[in-house]
Structures are given as structure tokens and as C-alpha cells.
Amino acid sequence: MSILAEVTGSLGSIGYGLAAIGPGIGIGIIFGQGVQAIARQPEAYGVIRQNMILGFALAEALALIGFVVPFVFGA
Amino acid sequence: MNLATIATEDACHLNSGCGFPAPNAEIFFLKPYSLTLFGHHLLISKSIILALLVALIVITFFVAASRSSKLVPTKLQSIGEQAYLFIRDQIAREVIGKEGDKFVPFLGSLFFFIWICNLMGVVPGAQFPVMSSLAFPVALTLMVYITYVYLGMKHQGPIKFFTNAAFPPGVPKAMYVLLTPLELLGLLVTRPVTQAIRLFANMFAGHLLITTFTVGAYYLLSPSIIGALGSVTSFGVTVVLTGFEMFIQGLQAFIFTLLTAVYIGGSLHAEH
């Protein structure tokens, strides 16, 4: 089979860029909604903040895996 | 190319013809110190030395703060009490509830050990975040993993713990086909793996970022306008990033401890 198209260069950077899209949107939504929830119900600040940080940590893990994988499997 | 060779190759600046020596993952594999102790030849890495030092600092601080407690606290005791109260009120009681008081020593040790270990990344002289070696987060996570699986089996029953997690109530029967494997995978694999990777990757990424801008500031330093301006900018970014990194280090220690508390809380009581 002949190669029709090929991508070379620092693919790790491109991979990281792609991996950051989803978590970026997710973290934006989490903190946006979190701030809105605090504004609506300031007395529930503790519970909201805790869940906000939890959601942030889970979404952020994906971006960080995207960052580390090129180092592990790149060379 | 690692930092040591960059430092010795004095000529490597903007207009001297060599490309930008971008730091890579090699900066995390430092050459271990070798020493002979009681006839045994030992290789000790910087991360081990720093981890032991941090353990010593944390133990000394809390022993000194809690020894000879008085009703009217001294300055040191006051700081120790603030640290204890932070873990108890912000993490243990907030997440686990009143029963969480039992776990404050465990959670507190985790938080302060991880935080000071991370802080070693910006302390002059040390400048190596211990948690950027994957083995350390993995060891801590294994400890947490064994703790919450044991607690779950003890409080919910050895088999009930897994069935409670696998079959969450209030879901249509047909959904269990999809849900059960996912829930079990989440409980036994995804939780520990992401907890370790999160801490490791945050420290790894932060340290690499700071190193890149530090090397950049050194590389751009040359007798030209672009070089001088670029070098100053790069150095300024390094300073700002160091501040940001200190925030991230505290946040990651907090998140690790918070997740530990969430997992322990989930093990103590089944979802209902």
C-alpha cells in the first residue's frame, strides 16, 4: 500500500493540543456553573466548592494524560 | 541535552549558531549520588533525599507543635492547631462527616507530606518536585487504595462492598449491562490510576514549564535587542510561573487529600 499522506514533526504537541480541547471546555463549564450556583445560593458555598474542585480534578486528568503520553511513548 | 551540559557549554546563545536546547524529560532523571555505607555500595537519588528531608520536617513540626500543649497556645502550637483544623473542617468533616475525625491524622499526614514535597520544586537549592517521579505518587496512591478497599470490606461486608458499587440503586434493570462494568472499573482501576497520574503529571508539567523558560532566558541572553528583550521577558515569565506553580502545588495536595476523603467516605457508607 502506498502512502498518500504523512504527518511529521512534533506530533506530541499536536496531540496535546487535541487532548486539551475537551477538558478545556469541561473545566470552563464546571467553574462557570459553579460560580453561578454560588451566586444563587451563597450559603451552600462549601458543598458547591468541594464538588467544583472534584469535577475540575476529574476533567483536568484527561488533559494531563495527554501531556504526559508523548513523553512516555514519543521517543 | 540536560541542564548540566547547557551550563557548561557557555557559548550556546541566540546568535552563536546552535539551536534552542529545549529541555525534555531527561531533566527528571538526575544522576544518583553514590556512597559506601558499611561496606555496601549505594546509589541514592535526589528525590529520596528530599522525601526523607520532607518527612523529617513534617514530623519535627507537628511533634514540636503538639508537645506540651497549653490552654493559651504558643505561636507554634497555634500554627499547628490551624493546620489540624484546616484538615478537620475543610476536608474530613466536610466530606466524610462526623466520623471523619478518625481519619484526620491520615489525611493530615498525606496533605502536608505531599504539599511540602511539591514545594521542594521551587525551594532554592532543592528545586526538584519529589512528586514528579512517578514512583512516589504511585506508592501514596497504593496506600490510599488499600485503605479504602479494606474499609469498604469492613463496613459493608467483603462481597457487599463490590455488589453495592456494581449495582447502584434507582437505575432501570437493563442499564446494569452498561453500568456494572463501568462502575467496577471505576472503583478498582480508574480511581487509583487517575489519582496517581494527576499528581505526577501536574508536578512534571509545572517543572518542565519553569525549566523551559529558565533555559530560554539563558539562551536569549545575547548582545542584540531581540535577545535582551526576550531574555528579560522570559525571566519575568519564569518569576510569574513560579508563583503560579506554588498555587498549583498547594491545590494538587488539597485535591489528592480531598479525593482520598471522598473515597474513604464512599467506603464507609454505601450509596443510597
Contact B262 A53 (CB under 8 A): no
pLDDT > 90: percent of chain A: 32
pLDDT tens figures, B155-176: 988 888 888 888 888 888 888 8
Strands B40-44 and B33-37: antiparallel
Who wins on pLDDT, B252 or B40?
B252
- All residues of chain A having their beta carbon less than 8 Å from the beta carbon of residue B111 are none
pLDDT tens figures, A46-72: 889 888 888 888 888 788 888 877 777
Bridge partners of B37, per DSSP, are B40
H helices, E strands: number in chain A: 2, 0
Contact A50 B259 (CB under 8 A): no
The C-alpha cell 519535627 sits at B60
Q: Across the interface, which of B24, B94, B259 has its CB nearest the CB of A57?
A: B259
Give A61→chain B minimum CA distance, Å: 5
* Interchain contact A46–B (C-beta under 8 A): yes
Sign of the alpha-carbon torsion through B213, B215, B218, B222: negative
What angle is formed at CA B89 by the lines to CA B83 and CA B95, rounded to 5 degrees? 125
